[in-house]
Structure 1
Amino acid sequence: MTEPFIHPYIPNTAPAARQAMLEAVGAATVDEFYADVPDDLRLHRELDLPAPLVAEQDLARHVTGLLRRNRAVEPGKLFLGAGTYNHAVPAIVDEVINRSEFLTAYAGEPYEDHGRFQALFEYQSLMGALLDLDVVNVPTYDGYQAAATALAMATRITGRRRILVVSDVHPDRLSKVRDYVRPYADVVIVPSVGGIADVATIGSLVDEHTAAVWVETPSHHGALEPALRGLSEIAHRVDALLVVGTEPLSLGAVTPPADLGADIVHGDIQSLGLHPWFGGAHAGFIGVRDDPRFVMEMPSRLFGLESTDVPGEYGFGDVAYERTSFALREEGKEWVGTAAALWGIAAGVYLALMGPRGMEEIGDTILSRTAYARSVLTALPGVTATDDASHFREFVLDVSGTGVPAATLVRELRTRGYEPGLTLDADRLLVCVTEQNTQTDIDDFAAALAEVLEGVKA
């Protein structure tokens, strides 16, 4: 009799373990367990997996070989952003989040897990000060989730179904939002003009069916929106909401959207002490004022001060837990699963270390280096800017005048050790500048680009 195959890395392939799991859920067979999955979605075959490496040293060698394929780019030569950014991470951030009480903590009750709950309360407080808002959630899975949830909240608060998108939004974020809010709302795109919102057109489209005007500043292309106050007035004229996506690292240098009329502010905290690890780490935030109409529509957990059984002592625990899907389960207004709590603690450490002065300095630094890089690069023959807006961290170069496709420029610059940006199409390149790119780095990048243009043409 042939022995059943037990995969060394997949415990439920062991017959005894599989049978115990089936008995626990009341299913006679695996097929019965998956009965709710439509037949046309099933493979009806074994997964095409490679043979397992049984010896630990063989597995270690295999994984090491895969990791060797990764290529590191010097921070000063990295000009790629488009959603994940190479910002400096102070050593103390990694030191704190690698402590066992934070790194391994997942769930827990307020009175048995004070450290994690207090750390997240401090994060929420620091983010509230940065955003100039009263209530900020425990981080969602990522910034895309935060955007989608913020807009879903707007539809519930207003009871309306139309969302106007009035800035250049990252296509992947827009795709996530469309997919997520489909049961709640229709998404209407209002093309930007010169990189910023077309206020006149928006004014003619906003009506009693509009749930929210959604703007991102900086936009996907790095443009800062100058008309937030006007967009707020247009939205509020018909009792719609202004939902604004923002970059927290910019708020030490630019006015917070809440001060210009934003009702719900969202974004990603990847820039606040989180490494760009293979496309991560990411976590989303949502901020609102202390208004029950808004707070009670936030599906995410909120941590606050709570009294204990001992007079004069306080702990940290859930605020208005009854509004969450954790309490309501299938009756919840919106489901929120695993949060990125560890990244919230990292961002809290980063914000506490930087303080108001540090956030102002880094915001100003990135603003000035973005402007400098844009000026230097567009001074090259055939390279132009695509708009006249003010930019933070990112901007688009039009290279059509050089006669060299953007993809070719990227390929050639990579041979020189540069990661020059994201190709948007044949003629446009999205370039990113952070505090890690010094003026000398920018000058060297411009010189390398000039050499490539001359070499390709020759």
Structure 2
Amino acid sequence: MRYLPLTNDDRQAMLAKVGASTIDDLFVDVPEIARLNGTIPDLPMHASEMAVERHLSKLAARNLTAGDGPFFLGCGAYKHHVPASVDHIIQRGEFLTAYTPYQPEIAQGTLQMLFEFQTQVARLFGTEVANASMYDGSTACWEAVVMAGRVTRRKRAILSSGLHPHYVSVANTMAKFTGDTLVTGTPALTAEPDTDALIEQIDDDTSCLVVQYPDILGRIGDMTKLAEAAHAKKALLIAVVTEPVALGAIKSPGEMGADIVVGEGQSLGVGLQFGGPYVGLFGCSQKLVRQMPGRLAGETVDAEGKRGYVLTLSTREQHIRREKATSNICTNSGLCALAFSIHMTLLGEAGLRRMAALSHAMACRTADALTNIPGVELVNDHFFNEFTVKLPGEARPVVRALADKGILAGVSLGRLYPAEGALANGLVVAASEMTTQEDITALAQGLKEVLA
């Protein structure tokens, strides 16, 4: 029996307060096709626990997981090796929390970790400061756009065509409620992004220019010109990094003039985990720090002169800022941020650079193997661990056919951009230090058979 504490009068009073006549009015933003009328078809009304376990296990066995065979998926979530020590350490009592510490006197371990996490992210991104993490890369990207609007007092943001479409989708959803105007586009299958065309879109009403680095096709562009063009119009440059391991090999966005750098930290310490939970990274220049969402952990000394850690800046709605808060982000991804920080600490700078070099080397081998197949064309030869190839036909059925062979070949651009026929033949392929020569050989052989 369900416990329903509210009466009909209670519900009507609440609906009247928010200006809705019925419960259904609260779901008008959900497309009609996505709504369910009545019960779920073919779902039994009840079953025993054992029967449910057997049924769900049978369904799960149909999945092809990342460790079951050759794996070349990327596009924002990457398969890297996470040492077993990461999982061991995050379960220690000093750290085990997924939430923000409020009482520094009993949360010194977590606060010190967050302080070190911020230092690592700032050095990785080339920014002066970084916060104590966000939910994930896509929401961090949107928070950066809103932050740029506060700083510039403008409402027009330009999102590069090379920005991950899921990040664009999140931004479009949120912009409905803020009144921001987003200028977006879709990428072309070219070796280099069209920097000049992007610069031409910047005007006196532009709050920010958002550029992914490397972009959705794996292309690595020099953002220096973009930063100069944005700053000339008093706009901000926001860089989005979905593969932080790349920054062990290529120049950081901060070095090229990015004002805000955000990204997804999943690659370090956090497994693929069926798409989450992940951890958002956020860094910026010192002069923008008070407009940064989330919170900052800081180092101080106590009354006895001993080192201690506190929440230095927390411009959130639950604290004294309230309606003046920079964001309604209510927590940080503490446990995932801890895993990221531990993995980074275990690697060190030399280890991260080595990991990046191995990932790049395996991607180069993969690209060479695929481009030896007749009809397969490499779109961009300037990449880190992810590149795009153009197949002689639509990529989606090819990906499905290779999955039937136990090979996860990559992400078809037709899946990411279903309405863009010009991208249907594109396939984004990612490799890492976990990719083996046997994996590459299997992918190349499988693709050759499917295309034959």
Same fold (TM over 0.5): yes
Q: Identity of aligned pairs, percent?
A: 31
Distance in 1 (CA, whole Å) between partners of 2:209 and 2:325 is 25
Indicate the structure (1 or 2) with the bigger Cα radius of gyration: 1
Q: Which amino acid aligns with 2:383?
A: H
Secondary structure (helix, strand or coil) at the match of 1:271 reads coil
Name the structure 2 match of 1:290.
286
Q: Is the 8 A contact 1:142 1:282 kept in 2?
A: yes
RMSD of the alignment, in Å? 2.7
Q: Is the 8 A contact 2:76 2:264 kept in 1?
A: no
Name the structure 2 match of 1:234.
229
Name the structure 2 match of 1:113.
107
Structure 2's unaligned 5+ residue stretches are 28-34, 415-423
Pair 306,161 (structure 1): closer, same or farther in 2 beyond 3 Å = same
How far the C-alpha of 1:163 sits from its partner, in A, is: 1.6
Secondary structure (helix, strand or coil) at the match of 2:210 reads strand
How far the C-alpha of 1:296 sits from its partner, in A, is: 0.6
1:39-438 correspondence to structure 2 within 5 Å? 39=22, 40-41=24-25, 48=39, 57-58=50-51, 60-74=53-67, 77-104=70-97, 106-107=99-100, 108-182=102-176, 183=178, 185-189=180-184, 194-225=190-221, 227-246=222-241, 247-291=243-287, 294-308=288-302, 310-321=303-314, 323-327=315-319, 328-386=321-379, 388-400=380-392, 404-425=393-414, 426-438=424-436
How far the C-alpha of 1:245 sits from its partner, in A, is: 0.7
Pair 102,66 (structure 1): closer, same or farther in 2 beyond 3 Å = farther
TM-score, scaled to structure 2: 0.86
Secondary structure (helix, strand or coil) at the match of 2:273 reads coil
Q: Which amino acid aligns with 2:410?
A: G
How far the C-alpha of 1:231 sits from its partner, in A, is: 1.0
Distance in 1 (CA, whole Å) between partners of 2:154 and 2:81 is 42
How far the C-alpha of 1:199 sits from its partner, in A, is: 2.7
1:12-31 correspondence to structure 2 within 5 Å? 13-14=2-3, 18-19=4-5, 29-31=10-12
Secondary structure (helix, strand or coil) at the match of 2:295 reads coil
Structure 1's unaligned 5+ residue stretches are 1-5, 7-12
How far the C-alpha of 1:104 sits from its partner, in A, is: 4.1
Distance in 1 (CA, whole Å) between partners of 2:265 and 2:362 is 21
How far the C-alpha of 1:125 sits from its partner, in A, is: 1.4
Pair 407,207 (structure 1): closer, same or farther in 2 beyond 3 Å = closer
How far the C-alpha of 1:263 sits from its partner, in A, is: 0.7
Name the structure 2 match of 1:440.
438
Q: Which runs of 4+ in 1 moved over 6 A?
A: 43-47
Q: Which amino acid aligns with 1:423?
A: S
Q: Is the 8 A contact 2:99 2:333 kept in 1?
A: no
Name the structure 2 match of 1:10.
none
Distance in 2 (CA, whole Å) between partners of 1:437 and 1:406 is 22
Distance in 2 (CA, whole Å) between partners of 1:200 and 1:58 is 60
Q: Which amino acid aligns with 2:215?
A: S
Q: Which amino acid aligns with 2:389?
A: L
Distance in 1 (CA, whole Å) between partners of 2:80 and 2:193 is 28
Q: Could you give the per-residue CA deviations for residues 251-271 of structure 1, whole angstroms, max 9, x where no partner exists? A: 111010101111100100000
Q: Is the 8 A contact 1:377 1:446 kept in 2?
A: yes
Name the structure 1 match of 2:421.
none
Aligned length: 426
Q: Which amino acid aligns with 2:25?
A: L
How far the C-alpha of 1:112 sits from its partner, in A, is: 1.9
Distance in 2 (CA, whole Å) between partners of 1:30 and 1:424 is 46
Q: Is the 8 A contact 2:68 2:406 kept in 1?
A: no
How far the C-alpha of 1:190 sits from its partner, in A, is: 5.9
Q: Is the 8 A contact 2:69 2:406 kept in 1?
A: no
Q: Which amino acid aligns with 1:67?
A: A
How far the C-alpha of 1:184 sits from its partner, in A, is: 5.1
Q: Which amino acid aligns with 1:277?
A: Q
Pair 412,202 (structure 1): closer, same or farther in 2 beyond 3 Å = closer
Q: Is the 8 A contact 2:69 2:408 kept in 1?
A: no
Pair 63,202 (structure 1): closer, same or farther in 2 beyond 3 Å = closer
How far the C-alpha of 1:279 sits from its partner, in A, is: 1.5
Name the structure 2 match of 1:9.
none
